[in-house]
Amino acid sequence: MAPKETKTEAVVTEKPGSSGAPSREAAAPEITQEMIAERAYHISQSAEGGTDEENWHQAEAELRQGSER
């Protein structure tokens, strides 16, 4: 089964007191359980793999860290 694709869309905002030119801020993509499960699986298959719970927490942390950039 192929993983679902998610889109990241830019949000245009205008800040009060600005020159009137809109700024573009990327909206953080939603991290789904399917995304975490897929990453946890890949971690479990690597030399870094631990318990299922450790793999899940590592996958979630990696995905959240990646979405903050």
Domain-wise residue ranges, the chain: 30-69
Please state, in angstroms and rounded to a whole number, the distance separating the CA atoms of residues 55 and 41. 8
Read off the amino acid at residue 27.
A
pTM, two decimal places? 0.57
Model pLDDT for residues 20-44, shown as the tens digit of each residue: 555 556 676 799 999 999 999 999 9
Q: Which two tokens stand for residue 43?
A: 């971690």
Alpha-carbon dihedral 61, 36, 8, 5, rounded to 10 degrees: 160
Mean pLDDT within 36-65: 96
